[in-house]
A = this chain, B = another copy of it.
């Protein structure tokens, strides 16, 4: 069909890039580092947004919108945060173009329209939001303040990859304020759970919840928690983060509240986000050499029906039956596509919808009509079955449930196999090179050891898992004591 992609074993990286392009998910734009999210890719993102937005609202959060621009002086108020993002900020310095006197029809930046203070295009919104919270919070009655924003952000990147690393990306960022440290920590962990539930229940992607080491912490946070997923090439991918900010931003922006006793104190904060990076994770977690494999809960099209026909008469006969199936399934809320193009053969259509990851394909021709059956193919296992026409209304929804569950179990089995406990640095390096995946190893807790291991192996501490087995031991690198194993991997 002219849309073949390389196999994963051949070149995993090229497989990913080609799949993203050929399945019409996204492409590089002519704007350095920025992507275009194509309609099919965007419709998956919309499904992610809808599910997440509901989860945020169910946990009491409201959406709002804050400015794209942050004045430099506001941006630098929380020093660690500013320092962490300074190197990747797009900066607006002027507010007008004018015609170039030397090149009619061309424009130049008007030097007279220079801003008094430069504006940073938000790489994240803590600064602008905490600057606003100062006006919104006076008393404990104003707390907790539970707000989320869906927005675009910009972090200048030299090396970009579609969805995984782009200069502009789409995300949501939650920003909450609380009356106590305990409450803020609870919120941080609650949102980590929301992310983990979303990843596992909607994306069918198992994740490990943990805390970041100091070196991998969000700039300005006291603690950063994350969910880590395993891709099919044995590399880890950070799929979401939730930060306990302590009173850092409250102090930087002077956000105080009067508690029940009337005493003034700084507010406690959290922030948490997931982005279009999840699209990359979804693709890499499940897809195969034929194309996308989408979990039904995020698939823009659940079922595609391909008619088998040689004449217009045959197509008409088949169409009558297809219309009944469409009605039955659409009434149940499924999105069903009837691909009745007469410009392409069935084999071409099969390959195209496999590439696009539609979970279930129904093929139906005159012989099926005579037998009162259809041929049903599932995308995940590529198994085919003959289903009675009368059973389609119950059989297809059941199959979609099974596919959702199977994709998760398959990914979970793989992920479980890809966690290796090691007790020596030699094993550590060998596993990383030969088997790849997560390596569970003891670490002495120092940034120096973390940095040395990263330097020598390119593996980073993905997280300190929340569900520790309590097993103490000795650091694989220094032999110094370690309270628990941490999760290492090479990562996206």
Contact = CB atoms under 8 A, between A and B. Distances in A.
A42 B29 contact: no
A390 to B, nearest CB: 32
Contact of A42 (B31, B62, B95, B168): B62
B65 A42 contact: yes
Given A31-B70, A70-B31, A96-B87, A65 B109 contact: no
A392 interface: no
Q: Which 5 A-B pairs have the closest CB atoms?
A: A34-B67, A39-B62, A86-B97, A37-B65, A91-B94
Contact of A63 (B46, B79, B86, B120): B46
A472 to B, nearest CB: 40
Nearest to A343: B141
A13 interface: no
A90 B91 CA distance: 10
Contact of A29 (B67, B95, B147): B67
A95 B86 contact: no
A82 interface: yes
A393 interface: no
Give the bracket for the number of chain A residues in contact with chain B. 35 or more
Nearest to A121: B92
B170 A34 contact: no
A294 interface: no
B109 A118 contact: yes
A76 interface: yes
A468 to B, nearest CB: 38
A99 B83 contact: yes
A30 B74 CA distance: 9
A132 B29 contact: yes
A68 B123 CA distance: 13
A66 interface: yes
A71 interface: yes
A92 B95 contact: no
Interface in A37-80: 37-39, 42-43, 45-46, 62-72, 74-76, 79
Contacts of A79: 105
A34 B69 CA distance: 8
A88 B95 CA distance: 6
B132 A76 contact: no
A286 B30 CA distance: 45
Contacts of A106: 76
A249 interface: no
Which of A45, A71, A95, A132 has the largest number of chain B CB atoms within 10 A?
A: A95
Given A63-B46, A168-B69, A93 B95 contact: no
A27 B39 CA distance: 34
Interface string A90-126: 1111111111000001110100000000111100000
Interface in A125-145: 128, 131-132, 135
B31 A67 contact: yes
A31 to B, nearest CB: 4
Nearest to A150: B150
Contacts of A34: 67-69
A199 to B, nearest CB: 22
Which of A38, A90, A96, A109 has the largest number of chain B CB atoms within 10 A?
A: A90
A154 interface: yes
Given A72-B109, A87-B98, 9 more contacts: A30-B132, A36-B132, A43-B63, A46-B63, A88-B96, A91-B95, A92-B92, A93-B93, A93-B94
B39 A63 contact: yes
A222 interface: no
A105 B76 contact: yes
Contact of A152 (B29, B68, B74, B128): B68
Nearest to A46: B63
Given A76-B106, A107-B72, A64 B91 contact: no
